[in-house]
Amino acid sequence: MTTTLRMETFTMPAASLGPDNPLPALGGCLPYRVQIRYDRNRKPRGFKVAVLENEILRATFLLELGARLWSLIHKPSGRELLYRNPVFQPGALACCNAWYSGGIEWNYCTGGHTPLTCSPLFAARVRGDDGSPVLRLYEFERALQVPYQMDFSLPEGSPWLFARVRLTNPHDRELQMYWWSNIAVKESPGLRVLAPADGALKYNYQAKELRRIPMPYDDGVRDASYPCNLPGATDYFFDIPENQRPWEATLEKDGRGLIYASTSRLRGRKLFLWGMSVGGRHWQEFLSIPGHPYIEIQGGVEQTQGHKFPMAGKSECTWMEVYGLMEADPKRAHGKDWDAAWRDIDARLERSLPAE
């Protein structure tokens, strides 16, 4: 089939977001209003979505909720490559309070979760160089007063969804900018997260400290590449060498799963997990329903989320992200030799989608 882009309605049980708080957000997200009037009374609700599809992938975007990529289905296998939350349930985790779990979230300009995570973005249909439809999502970020856009393309016959991100500084002065793409993936026993790095910067939420550890063994005991091994919520910022193509993959026991890669401008990669403690399990159920745990893999311009990057006046910053199915040898992908495991994925990625 040729690539198609269409508008549809996607229905799921949803809490009411309620109106924005009319009082000024003196706590810090000005000029945006805070979203604190949501509830937990979920009822079926239809959301406007854009669906970009070819014969291999079907990508669904929630246009009214930060234009989040809500679903990415590999059609030949029927595999959902993301974690698609069965409900819409906000919780107090974003810049403007309301945040929801699932899909791929685009966080820009201000640190943390974007102020528009539960607000609509502009969407347009444009044409790619090959004539196929491209979904353009764009907005004007009001805190820094900068525009940004994301162009999503799915060429005919391509097993890869491409996302070209463009940030612009229209001002004469330098700005401190921020970007992290947050990708939710279903957590399951035996799921392994791989990245081309021999170490990571671990952030401990309890101790409030950041320190480097060798991968994959955290404190020489737990294999941190298996999220179900970890007791508490943790960040791992992979220490990827500058000359290494950045990517991250989440592989099930059968060696298959999502791979997320990019051009070198988006150098940071992170694993976030809630952990297996009672608190971590409770948070996931609070944001969804029981029995739907997830983790996040993430990509940013800087190595950690504690850093922003300088952007000169009258300049642009662009990069390309790609999402698709990775099929690897399960014995190697889950082998004890960490270096051999990630290098095999790296070679497979290069054969399927050369960096050039």
pLDDT at 26: 82
Mean per-residue pLDDT over the chain, rounded: 96
pLDDT band at 204 (very low <50, low <70, confident <90, very high): confident
pLDDT at 320: 98
Tens of pLDDT, residue by residue over 45-78, are 999 999 999 999 999 999 999 999 999 999 999 9
pLDDT at 76: 98
Percent of the chain exceeding pLDDT 70 equals: 100
Distance of CA 18 to the CA centre of its chain: 25
Q: Six-digit token pair at 215?
A: 């991968």
Name every residue whose Cβ is closer than 8 Å to that of residue 136 and which is 6 or more positions away in sequence.
123, 124, 125, 126, 149, 150, 151, 152
Residue 246 and residue 264 in contact, taking contact as beta carbons nearer than 8 Å:
yes
User: 43: which strand partners?
Assistant: 14
Residue 87 and residue 69 in contact, taking contact as beta carbons nearer than 8 Å:
no
Q: Say yes or no to pLDDT of 1 above 80.
A: no
Tens of pLDDT, residue by residue over 130-183, are 899 999 999 999 999 999 999 999 999 999 999 999 999 999 999 999 999 999
Tens of pLDDT, residue by residue over 225-278, are 999 999 999 999 999 999 999 999 999 999 999 999 999 999 999 999 999 999
pLDDT at 15: 98
Indicate the residue type of 113. Answer: H
Name every residue whose Cβ is closer than 8 Å to that of residue 282 and which is 6 or more positions away in sequence.
none
Q: Say yes or no to pLDDT of 210 above 80.
A: yes
The radius of gyration of the chain's CA atoms, rounded to the nearest angstrom, is: 20
Distance CA 152, CA 167 (A): 15
User: 13: which strand partners?
Assistant: 44
Residue 50 and residue 123 in contact, taking contact as beta carbons nearer than 8 Å:
yes
Task: Give first-to-last CA distance, the chain, whole Å.
Answer: 27
**Secondary-structure breakdown of the chain: helix, strand, coil percentages, each rounded to the nearest 5:** 10, 45, 45
Percent of the chain exceeding pLDDT 90 equals: 93
pLDDT at 246: 98
Whose tokens are 């708080």? That residue is 21
Q: Calculate mean pLDDT across residues 33-52.
A: 97
Q: Six-digit token pair at 234?
A: 């943790």
Range scoring the smallest mean pLDDT among 100-104, 148-152, 204-208, 260-264: 204-208
Each domain of the chain, given as residue ranges in start order, spans 4-352
Nearest CA to 60 among 133, 6, 132?
Answer: 6
Q: Calculate mean pLDDT across residues 281-310.
A: 96
Range scoring the smallest mean pLDDT among 53-62, 83-92, 146-155, 199-208: 199-208
Residue 95 and residue 115 in contact, taking contact as beta carbons nearer than 8 Å:
yes
pLDDT at 38: 98
Q: Strand 199-204 relative to strand 256-262: parallel, antiparallel, unpaired?
A: unpaired
Q: Say yes or no to pLDDT of 207 above 90.
A: no
pLDDT at 221: 82
Residue 299 and residue 139 in contact, taking contact as beta carbons nearer than 8 Å:
no
Instruction: State the CATH class of domain 4-352.
Output: mainly beta
Cα torsion 112, 115, 121, 122 to 10°: value is -100
